[in-house]
Structure 1
Amino acid sequence: MYKQISPADGWHFVSNEEVTGKPIVFTLAAWALVEDGSAVIGLIGDVAGGGPDRESSSHKMMARLVSVPPIKGEYKHITGMTVAELAAAKPSSERNLT
């Protein structure tokens, strides 16, 4: 559980692919203060559920916030990101246009 959640405008979690070394960038939606107050973590958007092909309404997709993946990386504000990191942060539809 979280004690407090605040917007994380302009913040990202940046890591690198193990094999290629290319940046992997997750856009943060919020900061969360854990319940015991021991840490602040970044939260990213995710979709949970069985997907749109499932017949039962209990299996429909639902948006939620989750912690960043358990991989080595760091939080960076957009103003401190490299050109490669900024490019990786763009949605794939925008990357295909450039």
Structure 2
Amino acid sequence: MLSEKELINIAIDYIKTFEKEIGRELIIPKELMIKKNYGIYFIYHSKIYYETKDWKYKLIGNAPFLVENKMGKIIEFGTSRSLDHYIQEYEASRYP
């Protein structure tokens, strides 16, 4: 089982792959992480949006994702529903 620090590092490496495409530095605010016994859910934003809260810097399509603590598998969710919905679907084994 992976540690919390390892899960966070996996998440950071994952969002770094989007930075080049987006052209902005991305961050994962710790206060938005949702820790479960099977992993951590992450939400990310552009750093400038998070610091300024200026909507012109808000990302579109930045889907939340889960990093499972068993093997570090990343599961990306959608943006059309709330994160709570996706958590419920995952916990009911209805999400791939």
Return the TM-score normalized by structure 1. 0.30
Compare relative contact order (CA 8 Å, sep 6+) and give the higher one, 1 or 2.
Answer: 1
Return the TM-score normalized by structure 2. 0.30
- Structure with greater strand percent: 1
- Structure with greater helix percent: 2
Max Rg structure: 1
